[in-house]
Structure 1
């Protein structure tokens, strides 16, 4: 297709209208006085621009200049709108300050909770260390008691072995003395 051919122009126009349709824009024919045509074109341009298109009411207001005061006079509505805007801004600032205060309080509460958890963890760790120290002392004391008991058991075993040796000697005595010892000891002494 040639650039300025009839088919090329038609296909470009078709693609242009399809792109507008995708954005929700379709052409319309309006009957208006000749003096209104530039304003309508300007408003249509504001509504259909690619970057930051305006909504129809805002585009018509901007094209018509309703938000701008007449030259040489201050509009009473614009001063009222200005005061209302100031009030809205003040309210928004109060709300933002309230949110900031609430956030600061929440952050402070969170910090306090974290500090309390940290202190509790430190206390628990100190308690566990103390338990471990006490357990180590108890184990050391039990070890000393076990060594002492083992020493006593060794001494008792040695005394028992000496007593058994003496009993064996007494049982082994020849003659009447031996018989008398064996008879007196009876079942008490092991064979």
Structure 2
């Protein structure tokens, strides 16, 4: 199971007043995903990158029945919740917390925020979707209150069917997320400069409409 273990970078949390939680993909690492921040306009953020046990948040495809990925999925969601609570306890509200993830980390990011919908700073999911053999609408409630969410993916993608991306966007919109979905033909399972530019503009520069 996962325990709350993470690395930090960027600015001091209290001084910056803004946190970005970065979730790595299967086989990746916290150090790897921290590098993503170099390509985003987050120089004034405190950065947090949790570590998955054995470099994987859950063992099977995100499209597998949820029971197959338990208890690892619940454990992974709990790690994110613990980190958010720790940040909250230092005086930083949800509206000053941003999230970003790639692949398995993007799926976990989307699953966490959808199960805990609130006004966040913003969410960037690079190739991911809600977790399960189908979208279990009963798992998701709350109100994003127009939180900006960027979801980018390739079509086709070997791990993430574009249909699940569309379903994820639709679900998030029902709980009032302001979703920007971008599908890049033939992109491959990676993050491109075009995606990063779009995420920067829609999620990290568009702060409360300012």
What TM-score results when the alignment is normalised by the length of structure 2? 0.16
Greater strand share, structure number: 2
Greater helix share, structure number: 1
What TM-score results when the alignment is normalised by the length of structure 1? 0.17
Larger radius of gyration: 1
